[in-house]
With several copies, the nearest count.
Chain A
Amino acid sequence: MNETLYNYTLHLADNALILAQRNSEWCGHGPVLEQDIAITNISLDLIGQARSLYQYAAELSNNIFSSTTGARTATEDTLAYLREGRAYKNCLLVEQPNGDWAQTILRQFFFSTCQFFLYQRLQRSADSTLAAIAEKSLKEVTYHVRWSSEWVIRLGDGTEESRNRLLNALDDLWPFTGEMFTPAGYETDAVNLGFGVDVKAIKPLWEQRVNEIFAEATLSSPITGSEGVWMQSGGKEGVHTEQLGFILAEMQSMQRTFPGCEW
């Protein structure tokens, strides 16, 4: 069971960290000062979640692998900074480039809405640590959903340009939404073991919320409009897009250049 729990926890942590890393690229470059602050805030919340999850994963890892001779002690930082791309388990959606504001907003809306329903259920996880992290994070995620929903509405029901940009973003990002609801092996196992969330069961809730917000944004439903669109997957199992390698090269550069240092 512990290895499933470890992978499951890492997957949640990686999602949070990679999206935080992406969002933080906006810091100092946002379209409005208030929104620069808002997206940075979301980034900070996500780093906070990632840290709690990595700390827990490190604890699990040290228990699992403690017998192995010479295995280095895991910490939140070894997990974040010393795993390669093929070991990262985030879904493809969160590693997609920031693009313009519409792209960033829609990525956040799709992800946070899913994360909201997931954490809601994870609060009842048989694993009390995961349950506690979910509970603590849910307030933040509720805000992320509200903020990104408002922006989807604003852009969809704003100017012709903002509407077109949002539709372009939809084109780019939609194929990456399916993966969130297709369980990886460790997710299925986690459900069976009683501590994981059944992502398939979340899908209709997510779709309903997406439909509602799109309707308010005066846009037609992306769900009915995209039947037959192929869904990309692989991220959760470590097969990423070419984006992730560059994210990690930059993010990990200091830890890789100066191994074993305290900062």
Chain B
Amino acid sequence: MFPMSVQELEKIFLNKIEQEVKIEPKDWMPDAYRKTLIRQISQHAHSEIVGMLPEGNWISRAPSLKRKAILLAKVQDEAGHGLYLYSAAETLGTTREQTILDLHSGKAKYSSIFNYPTLTWGDIGAIGWLVDGAAILNQVMLCRTSYGPYARAMVRICKEESFHQRQGFDILMALSKGSPEQREMCQDAINRWWWPSLMMFGPHDGESTHSEQSTLWKIKRMSNDELRQKFVDMIAEQVKVLNMTLPDDKLKWNETTKHYDFGEINWTEFWNVVKGNGPCNKQRLDARRKAWDEGAWVREAASAHAAKRKMREEKKIA
């Protein structure tokens, strides 16, 4: 068989996209598609891993054994999600180690939301409800993304995430029914996490760098603003169940659009945190680098031992 030209390959590729056939690791794909996916999947993986830190901060202080177990399991799930995603990224020809080093050098990004501190137990509830809630909308969309391994990882992740969101809501529910201090803790956490959660959907559609091409390739299947609106509509209803409010006096049901109107995001803060100036950017990266560096001897020992063992087994056979 004659090798196909790039034009022909690209046609097949776009045809698959068109026909909703998943792209698989061994399929030909445009370099830019591959690069975009590597960037996005590893960014997503890093978000899971860095995202362990703000919640991990409260494991030792969880206020009941049941909550401690739930939180620990949740943070562990995030590690698992990180694993799925690093594996998905590896199918595109990168290595987990390189991906991690890119995070540590600051070359790769992760979701800015994790650069905010968790200051009270209420924050653990707010993260579950708002942050996971925002993440899920994005992830549900990604279950239908065009790259097979990514889509399949997302299906597994989505199942667990909706569980997490419910647990977060449940924490806030308990606070909202509790003492005045607990109710205050609940409202305070919502106040601090609301706007950063809205920022998770990224810049307005007009200003989003990678959006257009990603939409064409069906990596992305809804726009930032569409997803954000969906999120606002959902949360604005749920917050009533908590008897709490969202910190936005422009928030109002619009009978014409059948959506909630809401106030403008502070984009200066958004870009500032993306640039590395969030309250915890340095702390988060330092923590990850420290874990990695201090774990170096462990990883070396494990591979040294594996090599020794292999050599011994080969000797036995010979």
Contact = CB atoms under 8 A, between A and B. Distances in A.
Nearest to A35: B298
Nearest to A231: B277
Contacts of A263: 63-64, 67, 121, 171, 174-175, 178
Interface in A240-257: 240-242, 245, 249-251, 253-255
A262 B119 contact: no
Contact of B60 (A29, A34, A48, A250): A250
Nearest to A232: B279
B308 A242 contact: no
B182 A242 contact: no
B66 A51 contact: yes
B76 A155 contact: no
B49 A33 contact: yes
Interface in B279-304: 279-280, 282-283, 287, 290-291, 294-302, 304
A242 B83 contact: no
Contact of A31 (B72, B118, B182, B295): B295
A44 B72 contact: yes
A247 B302 CA distance: 31
Contact of B119 (A24, A51, A242, A253): A242
A241 B279 contact: yes
Interface bracket on A: 35 or more
A21 B60 contact: yes
B149 interface: no
A254 B121 contact: yes
Contact of B182 (A30, A34, A157, A261): A261
Interface string A83-96: 01110000000000
Interface residues of B, number: 64
A239 B61 contact: no
Interface in A43-84: 43-44, 47-48, 50-51, 54, 76-77, 80-81, 84
Contacts of B22: none
Contact of A242 (B57, B63, B64, B181): B57
A258 B305 contact: no
Given A101-B295, A239-B119, A47 B301 contact: no
B11 interface: no
A254 B62 contact: yes
Contacts of B287: 28-29
A255 B300 contact: no
Looking at chain B's contact residues, is the secondary structure mostly helix, strand, loop, or mixed?
helix
B221 interface: no
Interface in A131-184: 153-155, 157-159, 161-162, 165, 172, 175
Contacts, number: 172
A41 interface: yes
Contact of A29 (B175, B277, B282, B291): B291
A3 interface: no
A251 B52 CA distance: 19
Contacts of B49: 33
Contacts of B73: 44
B308 A245 contact: no
Interface string B167-186: 00001001101110110000
A162 B117 contact: no
Contacts of B291: 28-31
B70 to A, nearest CB: 10
Contacts of B295: 30-32, 101
Given A33-B79, A258-B179, A262-B177, A245 B61 contact: yes
A197 to B, nearest CB: 24
A40 interface: yes
Contact of B56 (A27, A37, A241): A27
A99 B118 CA distance: 22
Nearest to B45: A33
Contact of A40 (B67, B75, B308): B75
7 contacts: A24-B72, A37-B76, A80-B65, A161-B301, A251-B60, A254-B63, A263-B121
- Give the 7 A-B residue pairs with the shortest CB-CB distance, closest first: A31-B295, A158-B301, A162-B301, A230-B277, A254-B63, A31-B298, A28-B52
Interface of A: 17, 21, 24-25, 27-37, 40-41, 43-44, 47-48, 50-51, 54, 76-77, 80-81, 84-86, 100-101, 153-155, 157-159, 161-162, 165, 172, 175, 230, 232, 234, 239-242, 245, 249-251, 253-255, 258, 261-263
